[in-house]
Structure 1
């Protein structure tokens, strides 16, 4: 009866809300359509199936079109309205209770999103917590109507709807903070850029760059905008955004992106996106594909809250029979499913926020929960356990040159290059204290090598293909070294002086400096470790022996990596795979938890669940600790909510708690569960604030 009476009033919501100036026209703001359309149809016609279907289609289509900004505006609107209703309720209750009737249309209006969600659930044969909320608040309004417009019942409904929108606003606020933290991972924007104006290069503030401008970027500079190359050619490091381990050659007509680095050459770039548009597009894409803050952990919370709906309705029904409408409404208004739904995503978002401070982008909350069950970690060898930049492992000579001379010429030729091979050779020359002669002239041939004039000699540095194309003969002993190096997973860089090969420089993979310590920490956790590599058996075994990892697979094709992971899973293992996110896509998808070190890559965004934004393994052990803390925090939150629920139901049946007593207890439980969700973040802020103090005291 109570619910029937409340629903009878729903038809007056549209006109009542419009009379209060709360409902803008749909043409002005499509957001309101989510709430207004279904109820307008319900008020205008009987509950016929075809009309109901139309209403549901409108809701789904409109919701699908909403942007994050529109979602925020809609939530802000309903929160403000519910706050206004609560304020008016409090004032009239304290002064002129009879005037409380003026809030009824606005109160019904705030119920529209709740009713809509409950109806959508029923359409899909699901009992959602919003159904309990709808019946509870509708029951409170119904009680007010059948009790001579008793203002206390309307005030109870106002409190219930206000807490509903406050909870949603808290989740959205935490989500926004997490997005801001992700933005910081991309570093600061350039303060100024060079612009081409009237044939001259002019330096202007970054904020003044406009779409259509032509930006000039020189070698070594960061590309500040998204755009297309209109002049020049260069080698671009896109690792931060695309994860490609090797630089990409770009020429006229090709696109480049903000936050990438021009290693060699020069570019004139016509601006297509600048400033926040360029960076925000990347952040938005990452966040949109990643958390969307709807994780399996939140689903776990949703499952618990959904399961609580039927018992709550049952308890309300028992209370209705034994205690009457007020007792039933008290139980339904203290719907602790809402607290579960709030605490779970808040906890998830706060832990994602903490992880991002460590440079860890957790795209999928299921991974954070899943880490606690992982018992096997599989590493891809190249680019994961080894660094992108190799090191000089040996120098092979011919034609009478010594090592210092050969390395000096090679380093001098590569001195203005920024790719990993050049850096390795230059670093080796610096370690030996070699003085590099001036570079007179140089030409870089993409994919082959560099040709430079040094001290009157033409020096060529590059691959064996480059030497063949330049007509430089390769002696048999170097050909043999080339074959051996290939078998061992090493790279051989040829160095020719004038028209003769002077020798070759062997580049070996460089083990990550943090790898050995990390392996020890992971073993201490009782985890099994394994290496999968496409390299030959000898280099893979050598790396495994050096790290103390017993199990490894060599000469493995990308598709076979996934098969090996599946075999481990068939043995009952929960596998975390760590790869570069490009060649390991299939394996990343197969694993229970997947991690990439490549940064926010297009491939990794589609595959890896977790991205190490600093490109290292430094925080991997901390990630496992965060997972354990996260699980503990969630369990504490669920226990808090369950305890409050038991106390409330018991209070209603044993001590005859009224509606406001139940709402007060719900508020306390909600505050406790939210406090628990924020506890890790508060603790982290306290520690960070205390660190400078300790440092100064120590000084």
Structure 2
């Protein structure tokens, strides 16, 4: 049990401590005190919200959560977040509206049901508002259409009451939540779009009600020749109807932004075929455990991660890796949950289940990235923070200027134009410009095998001018094979290989694995060793049969003050120029022989490097391998630069040096020794075929693990940033042009005024257009 879990549970009630009974874990849905949990249900002592139980199902869930430590407590079941990130990563337990900006909350774990319900409810309210608003609009516009002749049917006073009766349900039923949002924004002093709408439309509605009930309180400027005050019920009703339409379209479009996550969720099959005691049984996916033997039939989706124990397969992994060509698999090869089997049947052993599977990690990473903020959003946040206050000031100034200098009826013009300014302004478009592009972009990246940890890395990747790559596992397959083993002394060649395999048996390095596997393949079994030690950047050492054995590179040779003869040096150089990695076996400070391994270049490496260079990215290889091997690899791939004999700290220092020169550096690697450099780089890129620590240190993970993934990441970054800039440009220009026009800037020159109805339509569709533009990323 970790420290955080203990700390949280110290906050539990004294009664629980005394009884030492733990009936459940409860938390505040508003997270008023962070991750603090309580031993009993009730109300939050800070906000009085009802506490929610973590273990909603049964106590077994709690035992499971305890076993995984409190930092993995799944209190996000059914949690929601604001798409405008008003309060950062704050989550809400129930669907609804953001208490700050009023935007509809989005489900973290997308199921589609919440968004669809919200859309259907908004659609229902819109239809009612539309049915009621059309006759209100016709009545109000009857003066402009003489053929209607409504004055012959009844007086204006009567028709005013009809407008009131029809418009009131639009205001108090269909659009009630808009005014609640607006009031919350004023009460919490978080002015936003709903502040403007509620003030503008509310003013028009209240003005009309007062004009209908007590017209004598208004100056003569507001009255016609018969003493009737012009009513604005049609403005209130139609504006709210247009806002409802915009919200409905926005909810519909917004549900599509999570389409990639939904598609990933759909990859997991609901059932699995488990083999037990020679029998095959069909079980729910949730009941699959590590170690279970599962059978996958032709055309079925693979339920969890594991490795094949019987049979062969051709598997479509495009939904995970982005690679269209199916992968051939045989015994001991790994298979990934969510991928699709071909025409054969095979059995495999479950290795990772539940949240540990690659698919679950991809979904979690996409969700996390879609909620993060890119640095470019800071500009929009700063503008949006003061935007509403500025708009309110402009609206007041508009009223005053028109009231003083406007033509008769001056007050009527002043009122209408002030309302138009409030209605047309759209801080929502500014707020959505970045998050929706990030959400769609990260989801699209996941579908092509590019997993982004946070939005910052998307923006940084667009600026990268130098890419540093490791050799083994990045440029090469990462699966070296044994090539040669030769004695330089009295030992037999086979003895050299056996001793090398013995000290390497406890190492996780790919070269060590190749040597051990190569020895076993020719029936040479490793001997037991003691006092094993890994020598960072040099090799390994251990005691074998009482002898101090070391195996490593030329640095290790220098540490033992050993030199090669001219003949030995010529042999080593020849193998290195052929691209082989040569290791030296040392027994009690005596050079006994060499072992060489070869790691094939990935077929995609050369083509990907050319594409990156065409994108103005210099590719530099940093490798712990020797000068000759490094040069051979570099020349073959036409790299811009290479550095050989690198220790982990050398890679770290090289990244730092380039950054100090003003470069934006991306680092791609797959091993533990790459972690420091990955952490230091502006953008760390981990190969999905590498170690967990490398992936934890990186901002971007490539599922497939080849350089084409970096090309896709770079291209994704370019397209997402271009999309964000388009959205921001549209939002800024729209408001910069729309507000002055609404204030009446064109009236002195062209006699043109912007109707509040047109302003409402423009405002509603501005947000929809931003989301629609972001959705283009799904198809690119």
Query: TM-score, normalized by length of structure 2?
Result: 0.57
Alignment correspondent of 1:85: 125
**Is 2:629 the partner of 1:532?**
no
3-state SS of 2:757 partner: helix
Contact 1:211 1:272 in 2 (8 A): no
- Give the Cα–Cα distance (whole angstroms) in 2 for the partners of residues 477 and 661 of structure 1: 78
The count of corresponding residues between Structure 1 and Structure 2 is 548
- Give the Cα–Cα distance (whole angstroms) in 1 for the partners of residues 171 and 363 of structure 2: 40
Alignment correspondent of 1:336: 426
* Aligned match for 1:327, one of 377, 392, 417: 417
Task: After superposition, give the CA deviation of every residue in 1:141-182 in whole Å (9 maximum; x if it has no partner).
Answer: 544544448532442453365256446625641342121345
Alignment correspondent of 2:233: 151
Contact 2:119 2:252 in 1 (8 A): no
- Give the Cα–Cα distance (whole angstroms) in 2 for the partners of residues 115 and 56 of structure 1: 20
* Aligned match for 1:460, one of 525, 529, 532: 525
Deviation at 1:660, TM superposition (A): 0.7
Deviation at 1:537, TM superposition (A): 5.0
Which is richer in helix? Answer: 1
Alignment correspondent of 2:292: 215
Deviation at 1:552, TM superposition (A): 3.8
Alignment correspondent of 2:280: 203
What is the RMSD computed on CA atoms of the aligned residues? Answer: 5.5
Contact 2:110 2:258 in 1 (8 A): no
Aligned in 2, Cα 1:63/1:139: closer, same or farther, shift over 3 Å?
farther
* Aligned match for 1:490, one of 564, 576, 581: 581
- Give the Cα–Cα distance (whole angstroms) in 2 for the partners of residues 548 and 62 of structure 1: 48
Contact 2:543 2:549 in 1 (8 A): no
3-state SS of 2:434 partner: helix
Deviation at 1:70, TM superposition (A): 9.4
Aligned in 2, Cα 1:381/1:317: closer, same or farther, shift over 3 Å?
farther
Alignment correspondent of 2:392: 313
* Aligned match for 1:285, one of 352, 361, 364: 364
- Give the Cα–Cα distance (whole angstroms) in 2 for the partners of residues 72 and 141 of structure 1: 36
- Give the Cα–Cα distance (whole angstroms) in 2 for the partners of residues 396 and 519 of structure 1: 36
- Give the Cα–Cα distance (whole angstroms) in 2 for the partners of residues 462 and 618 of structure 1: 41
3-state SS of 2:468 partner: strand
- Give the Cα–Cα distance (whole angstroms) in 2 for the partners of residues 144 and 279 of structure 1: 60
Aligned in 2, Cα 1:470/1:567: closer, same or farther, shift over 3 Å?
closer
Contact 1:171 1:342 in 2 (8 A): no
- Give the Cα–Cα distance (whole angstroms) in 2 for the partners of residues 140 and 518 of structure 1: 61
Contact 2:445 2:451 in 1 (8 A): yes
- Give the Cα–Cα distance (whole angstroms) in 2 for the partners of residues 604 and 140 of structure 1: 60
Contact 1:132 1:313 in 2 (8 A): yes
Alignment correspondent of 2:168: 101
**Is 2:605 the partner of 1:515?**
yes
Higher mean alpha-carbon deviation, 622-631 vs 375-384, is at: 622-631
Contact 1:588 1:608 in 2 (8 A): yes
Alignment correspondent of 1:246: none
- Give the Cα–Cα distance (whole angstroms) in 2 for the partners of residues 75 and 137 of structure 1: 27
* Aligned match for 1:588, one of 652, 656, 678: 678
- Residue correspondence of structure 1 range 297-446 to structure 2 within 5 A: 297-306=376-385, 308-321=387-400, 322=402, 323-396=413-486
**Is 2:758 the partner of 1:661?**
yes
- Residue correspondence of structure 1 range 24-103 to structure 2 within 5 A: 63-65=91-93, 68=108, 79-95=119-135, 97=163, 98-103=165-170
Task: After superposition, give the CA deviation of every residue in 1:276-319 in whole Å (9 maximum; x if it has no partner).
Answer: 99677434432343332643344554445445434433332222
Task: After superposition, give the CA deviation of every residue in 1:664-698 in whole Å (9 maximum; x if it has no partner).
Answer: 2234544544443333434x4xxxxxxxxxxxxxx
Aligned in 2, Cα 1:476/1:636: closer, same or farther, shift over 3 Å?
closer
Contact 2:271 2:303 in 1 (8 A): no
- Give the Cα–Cα distance (whole angstroms) in 1 for the partners of residues 550 and 442 of structure 2: 57
Task: After superposition, give the CA deviation of every residue in 1:315-334 in whole Å (9 maximum; x if it has no partner).
Answer: 32222222423322222222
- Give the Cα–Cα distance (whole angstroms) in 2 for the partners of residues 105 and 362 of structure 1: 44
Alignment correspondent of 2:718: 628
Task: After superposition, give the CA deviation of every residue in 1:7-35 in whole Å (9 maximum; x if it has no partner).
Answer: xxxxxxxxxxxxxxxxxxxxxxx99x99x
- Residue correspondence of structure 1 range 217-256 to structure 2 within 5 A: 224-225=303-304
Deviation at 1:630, TM superposition (A): 3.2
3-state SS of 2:684 partner: strand
**Is 2:256 the partner of 1:179?**
no
Deviation at 1:340, TM superposition (A): 3.0
Task: After superposition, give the CA deviation of every residue in 1:406-463 in whole Å (9 maximum; x if it has no partner).
Answer: 99xxxxxxxxxxx9789979xxxxxxxxxxxxxxxxxxxxx898768x9xxx643699
- Give the Cα–Cα distance (whole angstroms) in 1 for the partners of residues 614 and 90 of structure 2: 52
Task: After superposition, give the CA deviation of every residue in 1:489-510 in whole Å (9 maximum; x if it has no partner).
Answer: 836699xxxxxxxx98631233
- Give the Cα–Cα distance (whole angstroms) in 1 for the partners of residues 551 and 167 of structure 2: 98
- Give the Cα–Cα distance (whole angstroms) in 1 for the partners of residues 242 and 690 of structure 2: 41
* Aligned match for 2:773, one of 648, 651, 676: 676
- Give the Cα–Cα distance (whole angstroms) in 2 for the partners of residues 573 and 272 of structure 1: 40
- Give the Cα–Cα distance (whole angstroms) in 2 for the partners of residues 161 and 558 of structure 1: 58
Query: TM-score, normalized by length of structure 1?
Result: 0.62
- Give the Cα–Cα distance (whole angstroms) in 2 for the partners of residues 73 and 629 of structure 1: 30
**Is 2:274 the partner of 1:194?**
yes
3-state SS of 2:701 partner: strand
Contact 2:469 2:620 in 1 (8 A): yes
Contact 1:449 1:462 in 2 (8 A): no
Task: After superposition, give the CA deviation of every residue in 1:479-530 in whole Å (9 maximum; x if it has no partner).
Answer: 99x9688997836699xxxxxxxx9863123323222333333333333332
Aligned in 2, Cα 1:352/1:171: closer, same or farther, shift over 3 Å?
farther
Aligned in 2, Cα 1:273/1:473: closer, same or farther, shift over 3 Å?
closer
Aligned in 2, Cα 1:259/1:556: closer, same or farther, shift over 3 Å?
farther
- Give the Cα–Cα distance (whole angstroms) in 2 for the partners of residues 121 and 603 of structure 1: 44
Alignment correspondent of 1:162: 244
Alignment correspondent of 1:690: none
Contact 1:86 1:158 in 2 (8 A): no
3-state SS of 2:525 partner: strand
Aligned in 2, Cα 1:309/1:578: closer, same or farther, shift over 3 Å?
farther
- Give the Cα–Cα distance (whole angstroms) in 1 for the partners of residues 272 and 446 of structure 2: 27
Contact 1:81 1:110 in 2 (8 A): no
Contact 2:365 2:452 in 1 (8 A): no
Deviation at 1:617, TM superposition (A): 0.8
Deviation at 1:259, TM superposition (A): 7.9
Contact 1:334 1:662 in 2 (8 A): yes
Deviation at 1:597, TM superposition (A): 1.5
- Give the Cα–Cα distance (whole angstroms) in 2 for the partners of residues 357 and 168 of structure 1: 24
Aligned in 2, Cα 1:534/1:505: closer, same or farther, shift over 3 Å?
closer
- Give the Cα–Cα distance (whole angstroms) in 1 for the partners of residues 181 and 712 of structure 2: 41
Higher mean alpha-carbon deviation, 159-168 vs 337-346, is at: 159-168
Aligned in 2, Cα 1:479/1:606: closer, same or farther, shift over 3 Å?
closer
- Give the Cα–Cα distance (whole angstroms) in 2 for the partners of residues 475 and 223 of structure 1: 45
- Give the Cα–Cα distance (whole angstroms) in 1 for the partners of residues 776 and 550 of structure 2: 68
Alignment correspondent of 2:6: none
Contact 2:450 2:702 in 1 (8 A): yes
- Give the Cα–Cα distance (whole angstroms) in 2 for the partners of residues 664 and 451 of structure 1: 75
